[in-house]
Structure 1
């Protein structure tokens, strides 16, 4: 459910509450109002249920998958870097080429490929675990990577099922909104009958029909960007990769913020010349703020060999 739909649902709930609190003597002025009210309330309850189901699929399963992917990628990258250091020490160019990666390459790999890449790194390091022990690669660290790969592969089918469920919820939500709009139109016509007979109720009803747009005014994301020494970094470009990506730049104190980010799980990238790009997957819920403060690592400048 998007921000506009949530705002519309809030309006519908206000109207439903007004009818619930209206005295029987006024209700008696409106033909068939009990039938209309009953269907209207049923639809609102269903919308709440469908929203909870849709939100669970969007910010539950998807977020878990991305969290597992991040951990798995970090583990594989670290083991690859240590194996690469070993390869350089023994002057094994073939091994060095097999385990040379940038972290951004893990972020950019497709879902179907990233687990296979991590598995290849695991297989190489497992065969060299004795030689890699001085570099910090242990059986325990390899087992952790293997478990992350297993978890990531296990959750893939669940995520695809979640996408199907999300589409079904979205379609049903749209149908319920359309039905309630028709019921509201009938209510509008009924209330016009008592415009002068019941002016107070008429005014209350029309006030309750106003949709208050809240999604674009509240902070969706804020944070403070620092380096590894805890110093703020200014002029970092932050991009939230929604369907229509939005960007901002950090202040002199490293602060940044966004408003009106639609609900869902979106990639957020942080980039600045001289620092390693960082990508995080964050879950957004309309009208709720996410606080995230990344620590950026400086790029290692390679020295020219004379």
Structure 2
């Protein structure tokens, strides 16, 4: 299940659990009870569909991968032996035809991979058995390759069905989550207003539990640093976030991004040789959000007065 859908389902679960724990408040309200039952059904349907989706992803797809690996291994083993035979009879055309590699079989589309394997099988069956036996190509080897090809053929169409079913299940999940949201937000929360005056804590709890919680618990900061006078980008500016080990340095475009910043307010300090230290106070980092800041740093380079250098007196000999 996609993260964004899971977060919405988590909100439905939290909402349903909260309402169930406070059933004494709404138990005499038939319409509310019916709507809550409908929400429970949606949640169960969502988890049932998700379970089928996981089985779909892990089941036949894995079987296909295993059988395709078996197809590649068997085909390459026979084709290598056939290349050795081709060299012995000085048949360059056959040698080139048998130039099959594992990756060529494994990563080809189903039909193409099967065709490549069948070509190898066709070739070994077209030569006298006694000529191929010295190269390890016996009837048993031929039968094994034929069996492997048939096994893969049987699972390849199933994989297409898996893909179609996966699309249907994904679409159903989207629909079920949307329907659950409608029940929770446009029905139950709307009905819940009737409890607001007599049971304000219950209503507030309903609203709070219906909120979708973004699982992204970190924030990031993007900075652009320029020279205050020239307005040109400043590279090599050290950026530190107070009370954390996080720091970064601007690139040639004067840009720097610092990620995984915890939620809350932090002081951000910018340092560069020959520039005044620049401090940004109380930067408010919120989870899942990015803070974008452009800073102009002031140069503190001043011309140093020339100091005459005294020449050492020559030593008397």
TM range, smaller chain: 0.5 to 0.7
Relative to structure 1, the CA distance from residue 215 to residue 145 in structure 2 (aligned partners, 3 Å threshold; closer, same or farther) is farther
CA drift of 1:108 comes to 3.9
Query: CA separation in 2, counterparts of 1:215 and 1:152?
Result: 42
3-state SS, counterpart of residue 59 of structure 2: helix
What is the match of residue 108 of structure 2?
A: 109
What is the rounded CA distance, in whole Å, between the counterparts of 1:216 and 1:55 in structure 2? 26
In the alignment, does 2:92 pair up with 1:93? yes
| 1:197 Cα deviation after fit | 4.2
Q: Higher mean Cα deviation, 141-150 or 36-45?
A: 141-150
With structure 1 as the length reference, what TM-score do the two structures score?
Answer: 0.61
Aligned partner of 1:301 in structure 2 is none
Q: Counterpart in 1 of 2:82? A: 83
- Pairing 1:18–2:15 present: no
1:174 aligned partner: 174
- Which residue in 1 is equivalent to 2:212? 211
Aligned pairs for 1:1-306 (under 5 A) are 1-24=1-24, 26-28=25-27, 32-126=31-125, 127=127, 129-185=129-185, 186-195=187-196, 197-213=198-214
Structure 1, unaligned runs of 5 or more: 218-306
Deviation at 1:116, TM superposition (A): 1.6
Q: How many Å separate the matches in 2 of 1:213 and 1:136?
A: 61
CA contact (8 A) 1:77 1:101 kept: yes
The residue matched to 2:100 in structure 1 has which SS? coil
Distance 1:9 1:82 in 2: 56
1:83 and 1:216 mapped to 2: Cα distance?
A: 59
Q: How many residues align?
A: 216
Q: 2:135, 2:191 → 1: CA distance?
A: 78
**What residue ranges of structure 2 are gaps of 5+ in the alignment?**
219-317
Classify 1:8/1:172 alpha carbon distance in 2 versus 1 (closer, same or farther; 3 Å). Answer: same
Secondary structure, counterpart of 2:90 in structure 1: coil
Comparing 93-102 with 126-135, greater Cα deviation is found at 126-135
The 10-residue stretch of structure 1 (82-91 or 122-131) with the greater mean CA deviation from structure 2: 122-131
Tell me the distance in 2 between the aligned counterparts of 1:207 and 1:151.
54
For the 8 Å contact 2:81–2:135, the answer to whether it is kept is yes
Q: Once the 2 structures are TM-superposed, how far is the Cα of residue 76 of structure 1 from its aligned partner?
A: 0.5
Contact 2:86 2:94 survives alignment (8 Å): yes
Alignment check: 8 A CA contact 1:4 1:215 kept:
no
Structure 1 residues 2 and 206: alpha-carbon distance in aligned structure 2, compared to 1, 3 A threshold: same
Mapped to 1, the partners of 2:86 and 2:166 lie a distance apart of 47
C-alpha displacement at 1:189, in angstroms? 2.9
Q: Is the 8 A contact 1:11 1:211 kept in 2?
A: yes
Do the aligned residues in 2 keep the contact of 1:3 with 1:215 (CA within 8 Å)?
A: no
Asked if structure 2 preserves the Cα contact closer than 8 Å seen for 1:54 and 1:166, the reply is: yes
SS at match of 1:15: helix
- Match of 1:109, SS state, is coil
TM-score (norm 2): 0.59
Instruction: Give me the whole-angstrom Cα distance separating, in 2, the residues matched to 1:168 and 1:77.
Output: 37
For the pair shown, the structure with the greater C-alpha radius of gyration is 2
